[in-house]
Amino acid sequence: MRLVGLGQPAAGDDGVGLRIARAVRQVLPDLEVVELTGAEGLIELLDGRPTLVVDAAVVAVEPGTLLELAPEHLARVPAFSTHGIGVAEAIGLASALYGTEVLHGLTVLGIAIRAPRVLAEGLTPEVAAAVPRAVDRVRRWVAEVSG
């Protein structure tokens, strides 16, 4: 199993996926953790193994809200990506190229953010507060998948 943290560290809250990946690496050192700054890297990573993708999501809910989605639900969430290619598009392309079996065991954990407007380092307080809750959710995911 693996965790994939996505984000752009110079885009403020959009770096939350990377921050969570780094925090998870500290508390779950045996878990494979991959950091990506673009969702296109997911295309080659998806192989049917249990994978949890953690990324910021610009959605119409309070910043810091955790949203857990199965791949088939991504298209129904009104959101856009600050990456060149979004998670939903990368998942769709992986499925088209390699078959739907590469999506087995895939879950996406989105952390709601406001749309980034300027280059900025660091997270807003609302999104930073979501990091420990997301790390706890990752721990539960690992226990569920391992169990």
Question: Burial code of 127-147, b = ≥16 C-beta within 10 A, e = fewer?
Answer: beebbeebbebbeebbeeeee
- 36 confidence band (pLDDT: 50, 70, 90): very high
Q: Is the pLDDT of residue 81 over 70?
A: no
Beta-carbon contacts of residue 89 (< 8 Å; ≥ 6 apart): 39, 81
| Count of structural domains within the chain | 1
- Give residue 71's pLDDT: 76
* CATH code of the domain containing 142: 3.40.50.1450
Q: List, for residues 42-61, the tens digit of each pLDDT value.
A: 999 999 999 999 999 988 89
Q: Is the pLDDT of residue 83 over 60?
A: no
- Spatial separation of the C-alpha atoms in residues 74 and 70, rounded to whole Å: 7
pTM higher than the cut 0.85: yes
- Give residue 9's pLDDT: 85
Structural domain that includes position 115 = 2-146
